[in-house]
Structure 1
């Protein structure tokens, strides 16, 4: 539920107009993979929206969505190591985690002179990378959208196989990921959580509700959050209900620009885009 922005939120809104902050970034750790990921940016304006794709998925999954967002602000999408045209994860490094993926993204943004603060959208496993980015680089984050985000809690259910989390030919270090996002707080940030409304084959209603409750917990990490169900969409909400995802991004971007808290969730706002406010 929306509430008054805290001091951190007010500061972020104010310094959107300060060019000095837009270029001031704390360098990520030097032990990560090279800052050489394939990244595509378009549009103009601030804040910059960063689109983080799902497991083993290249940047072009967001091609249509990115074009829509670019009409309003600067937006970038990218492919993680070993995906699309991005170089592979270095053989001499341990298996990647969401945290090291987030660090490599930050380094790539700096290498390409893409300035923050950022509004970050993470889809599926990209939602875990987004959580890690917020945990490890809070100075760069102005707002967040989680598109049917993966959650560490999902692995408590046997239907989610941790060994299937492989991308670019490397296993994802989920134990390391759990440590990297433990204690995550999104306090003071505008956050929208989108959850699929149509479960995949083999998933019953009870399991979908349990999964949705995990997203309730994610939404609760911010004092300025909305949780919206994509009633007409499966896991890839940006494919099934692109307008809903675009609306979520625009809502967070507007909140960052104004420095005001988002309005409380209202079905009259979200239903036309294929969304319903989460109740309970």
Structure 2
């Protein structure tokens, strides 16, 4: 893995890595936004045919905090400044995973001339989820168990497992969430990012409705493995519908269902991500 570099952006430092030779591919991760070190499963194969960039969003990982409130527009502006400060060859292919899909959509709408193609990995929908009114409650409870350290107690871990099983595919996914919750710093960073989730989703939806996306090659990778519960099936239908609407924003957009993968597509099936990026790079 290439050594991280620190790039000056508006008097702050953003941590990034750059590796490989070829067309520029920028990876924007989900969750809190700590991209450096997150993409280990796909960075080396991508670097065989592209210049691959990862970075930590402001206030996360090795990057300095940015001005508040942390709107998605500010996140996209940070990425734009980073790309230009690194003197990358533009336009680039942007790859947004989960919450990173919101950032890359706003980037593409604000700087269309700098975007050659788009790949979204199980992106966060820009529509309000209509049927899971309790989803926010159990999410906040999980974060509270993590930030307080209660997940490290027997009763706390039991409650975390009971709550997360409502939307998990299997016990391995539950174990992964418990491991994450034990990292109090990561939980705090993620909780801070997701606290204004509804506002940020609304912001992105309004921006895309107003400005649209550039008519570039666009692929949406949608997870094929979701919870088999009734709630999980309804979530899967809603997510897939949302992903098709996103793909329709481009005249050459398409949806690919990653049948063997959960939301963690880069880990569950990295090859499907690599091939999607390769295809968009070739046709961009």
- Picking from 105, 112, 128, the partner of 1:138 is 112
Match of 2:225 in 1: 198
Flag the structure with more relative contact order, 1 or 2, with Cα contacts below 8 A and sequence separation at least 6.
1
Match of 1:252 in 2: 280
- 2:25 partner SS: strand
In 2, Cα distance between equivalents of 1:234 and 1:137: 31
In 2, Cα distance between equivalents of 1:104 and 1:247: 28
* C-alpha RMSD of the superposition: 2.4
Match of 1:274 in 2: none
- Picking from 180, 187, 191, the partner of 2:207 is 180
- 2:246 partner SS: helix
Is 1:73 matched with 2:50?
A: yes
Structure 1 residues 159 and 241: alpha-carbon distance in aligned structure 2, compared to 1, 3 A threshold: farther
Structure 1 residues 82 and 111: alpha-carbon distance in aligned structure 2, compared to 1, 3 A threshold: same
Is 1:55 matched with 2:31?
A: yes
- Picking from 18, 25, 41, the partner of 1:64 is 41
Is 1:94 matched with 2:122?
A: no
Structure 1 residues 159 and 240: alpha-carbon distance in aligned structure 2, compared to 1, 3 A threshold: farther
**Corresponding pairs, count:** 221
- 2:43 partner SS: helix
In 2, Cα distance between equivalents of 1:117 and 1:35: 24
1:185-241 CA deviation, whole Å, 9 max, x = no partner?
Answer: 335210001100111475422321121001110010011122110111000100100
- 1:37 partner SS: strand
Match of 1:151 in 2: 125
1:101-143 CA deviation, whole Å, 9 max, x = no partner?
Answer: 0100111111222231110000000001111011111110010
Is 1:45 matched with 2:16?
A: no
**Could you list the runs of 4 or more consecutive aligned residues of structure 1 that deviate by over 2 angstroms after TM superposition?**
32-36, 154-173, 175-188, 200-204
Can you give the 5+ residue segments of structure 2 that lack an aligned partner in the other structure? 1-8, 144-188
Contact kept, 8 Å, 1:187 with 1:224, in 2: the verdict is: no
Alpha-carbon shift at residue 100 of structure 1 (Å): 1.1
In 1, Cα distance between equivalents of 2:60 and 2:39: 14
Alpha-carbon shift at residue 168 of structure 1 (Å): 7.8
Is 1:220 matched with 2:195?
A: no
In 2, Cα distance between equivalents of 1:33 and 1:160: 37
Structure 1 residues 210 and 159: alpha-carbon distance in aligned structure 2, compared to 1, 3 A threshold: farther
Alpha-carbon shift at residue 161 of structure 1 (Å): 3.1
Match of 1:12 in 2: none
Alpha-carbon shift at residue 64 of structure 1 (Å): 2.3
